[in-house]
């Protein structure tokens, strides 16, 4: 379970005050026969014509479209990240900020492992947990563009043995329903069992006996096991394993050279960050658990912050050769309301006016501005990524501990770019509870779903 860091609020108030004066100048898956994870790749020098240029390689043009960048004090944000790893507040983290097709910041902070400290850098690999869902939806969209699948493709047309508990329910469940969590199943169905080492194939078969909370397509309830049926659809439609297809269609053309799938992929990486939990004497490094690697579409990706910079640029519209703009518009469009997302951490309560789920992404109204977002966590790892389309801005943050502190960096950047009053988001020592947490309610009996699950009526 997550451990809550109890840092006195005055410390972060002082740190923030000290950092404010700094000036800008910085830089199927076939579950019965699972495929071998994609191994980590070497780091060839990217072609200047193929990938966006980092800030330190060429100056940003002085144009009206770039003026909002002056509101973003990149050095101050980087100093805040450095303060987060100081004195072991968090073991390590990595952050990318991209704007107008350029990389403004791409750095690692802290260490990969408190027992064997090595510096986190831009190519250190982390588990992405539920950030993986955006890759599943994007691959599905590419196959829709190819005419191989349709958003309204029925699951039973590709998985004829698939069953649900209500008559004809399975016949109405579509690809888009899977990717927007509108399956009709209770929230986080079978996550508790997955954590207890149940096999994915066994859990998908148990869907047939699980009472539904609504008809497919009619309500929202976050899933990991059912979401991962998209991997089976990919295999049935293409004859290729899901993880191999993501590597071929996404990782390779985008230059995501550190990205991989599976525990073996993580451990084969040239440098990877170990997960950490809070112990009596401070942070304790752990061995990564394999459980959620059994659902690759929901939680199987490993990647570096360098990889996520390319992912943000692509989803920001700067790689139309790989992800065409009409596809991005479809993936980012809201599909179902998720009003519980407005509650939770202080920045959500203060800034979010509306919340929805799209296809593998969340869509928020952030103080009147559309925000494309996803977060994730699995034991010892957390991460979040967001796109602010009006400002052509993207930010991703990955860290190797169960602290909530780094999550305050995201709204800090957003507020700066939008010219909003600065919030004390880094003072918040309360865990940011959200549905991307890959933890079931451990108080519930095995075989049941999360007792807190409440589907949106919309």
Q: What is the pLDDT of residues 239-265, one digit of tens each?
A: 999 999 999 999 999 999 999 999 999
Has residue 194 been placed in a domain?
yes
How many distinct helices (H) and strands (E) make up the chain? 17, 13
Has residue 220 been placed in a domain?
yes
Question: HSE (CB half, 13 Å, CA atoms) of 413?
Answer: 32
The terminus-to-terminus CA distance of the chain in angstroms comes to 31
268 vs 41: CA distance, rounded Å: 9
pLDDT digits (tens, 9 = 90+) for 287-329: 999 999 999 999 999 999 999 999 999 999 999 999 999 999 9
Tokens for 260, please give them.
């991989």
Who contacts 285 (Cβ-Cβ below 8 Å, separation ≥6)?
91, 113, 114, 115, 274, 275, 276
Note the pLDDT of residue 230.
98
- 3-state secondary structure (DSSP) of residue 384: strand
Is residue 423 very low, low, confident or very high in pLDDT (cuts 50, 70, 90)? Answer: confident
- Compute the CA torsion angle 277, 384, 26, 79 (nearest 10 deg): -30
pLDDT digits (tens, 9 = 90+) for 79-133: 999 999 998 899 999 999 999 999 999 999 999 999 999 999 999 999 999 999 9
347 vs 423: CA distance, rounded Å: 8
Has residue 115 been placed in a domain?
yes
Note the pLDDT of residue 450.
37
Residue 185 near residue 162 (C-beta atoms within 8 A): no
246 vs 300: CA distance, rounded Å: 11
pLDDT digits (tens, 9 = 90+) for 160-173: 999 999 989 999 99
Residue 337, domain extent = 65-458
pLDDT digits (tens, 9 = 90+) for 366-413: 999 999 999 999 999 999 999 999 999 999 999 999 999 999 999 999
Supply the CATH number for residue 180's domain.
3.40.710.10
Has residue 35 been placed in a domain?
no
Tokens for 453, please give them.
């699950």
**Nearest in space to 183 (alpha carbons), one of 158, 153, 219:** 219
Has residue 326 been placed in a domain?
yes
Who contacts 57 (Cβ-Cβ below 8 Å, separation ≥6)?
none
Residue 132 near residue 295 (C-beta atoms within 8 A): no
Is residue 182 very low, low, confident or very high in pLDDT (cuts 50, 70, 90)? Answer: very high
pLDDT digits (tens, 9 = 90+) for 12-43: 443 343 343 333 333 333 333 333 333 333 33
* pLDDT for residue 432 is more than 50: no
Has residue 406 been placed in a domain?
yes
Any alpha helices (H) in 207-261, and if so which ranges?
229-238, 242-246, 252-254
Count of the separate structural domains present in the chain: 1
64: buried, middle or exposed (CB in 10 Å: 19+, 13-18, 0-12)? exposed
Tokens for 218, please give them.
């009619």
Has residue 384 been placed in a domain?
yes
386 vs 316: CA distance, rounded Å: 10
Percent of the chain with pLDDT over 70: 78
Residue 386 near residue 395 (C-beta atoms within 8 A): yes
Task: Round the average pLDDT of the chain to a whole number and report it.
Answer: 83
Edge to edge, what strands does the sheet with 352-357 contain?
102-110, 92-99, 393-399, 381-388, 369-378, 362-366, 352-357, 336-337
Has residue 303 been placed in a domain?
yes
Note the pLDDT of residue 26.
32
402 vs 376: CA distance, rounded Å: 11
């Amino acid at each position: 379970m997550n451990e809550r860091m109890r840092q006195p609020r005055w410390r972060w108030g002082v740190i923030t005050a000290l950092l404010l004066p700094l000036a800008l100048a910085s830089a199927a898956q076939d579950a019965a026969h699972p495929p071998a994870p994609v191994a980590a790749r070497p780091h060839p020098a990217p072609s200047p014509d193929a990938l966006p240029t980092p800030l330190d390689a060429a100056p940003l043009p002085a144009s009206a479209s770039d003026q909002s960048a002056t509101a973003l004090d990149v050095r101050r944000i980087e100093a805040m990240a450095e303060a987060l790893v100081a004195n072991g507040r968090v073991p390590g983290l990595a952050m990318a900020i991209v704007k107008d097709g350029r990389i403004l910041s791409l750095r690692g902070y802290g260490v990969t492992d408190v027992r064997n400290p090595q510096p986190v850098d831009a190519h250190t690999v982390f588990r992405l947990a539920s950030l993986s869902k955006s890759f599943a939806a994007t691959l599905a969209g590419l196959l829709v563009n190819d005419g191989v699948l349709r958003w309204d493709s029925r699951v039973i047309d590709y998985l004829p043995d698939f069953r649900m508990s209500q008559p004809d329910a399975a016949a109405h469940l579509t690809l888009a329903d899977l990717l927007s969590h509108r399956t009709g199943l209770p929230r986080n169905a079978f996550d508790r069992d997955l954590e207890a080492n149940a096999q994915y194939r066994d859990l998908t078969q148990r869907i047939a006996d699980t009472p539904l909370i609504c008809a497919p397509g009619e309500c929202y309830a976050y899933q990991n096991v059912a979401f991962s049926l998209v991997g089976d659809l990919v295999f049935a439609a293409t004859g290729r394993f899901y993880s191999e297809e993501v590597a071929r269609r996404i990782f390779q053309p985008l230059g995501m050279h550190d990205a991989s799938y599976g525990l073996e992929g993580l451990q084969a990486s040239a440098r990877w960050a170990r997960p950490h939990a809070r112990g009596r004497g401070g942070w304790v490094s752990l061995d990564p658990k394999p459980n959620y690697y059994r659902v690759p579409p929901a939680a199987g990706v490993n990647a570096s912050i360098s990889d996520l910079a390319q992912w943000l640029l692509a989803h920001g519209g700067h790689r139309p050769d790989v992800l065409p703009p009409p596809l991005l518009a479809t993936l980012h469009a809201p599909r179902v309301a998720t009003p519980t997302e407005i509650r939770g951490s202080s920045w959500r309560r203060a800034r979010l006016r509306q919340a929805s789920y799209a296809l593998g992404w969340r869509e928020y109204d952030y103080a009147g501005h559309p925000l494309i977002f996803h977060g994730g966590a699995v034991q010892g790892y957390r991460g979040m990524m967001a796109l602010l389309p009006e400002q052509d801005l993207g930010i991703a943050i990955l860290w190797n501990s169960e602290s909530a502190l780094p999550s305050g960096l995201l709204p800090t950047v957003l507020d700066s770019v939008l010219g909003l009053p600065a919030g004390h988001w880094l003072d918040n020592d309360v865990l940011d509870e959200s549905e991307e947490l890959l933890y079931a309610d451990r108080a519930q009996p095995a075989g049941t779903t999360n007792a807190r699950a409440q589907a949106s009526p919309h």
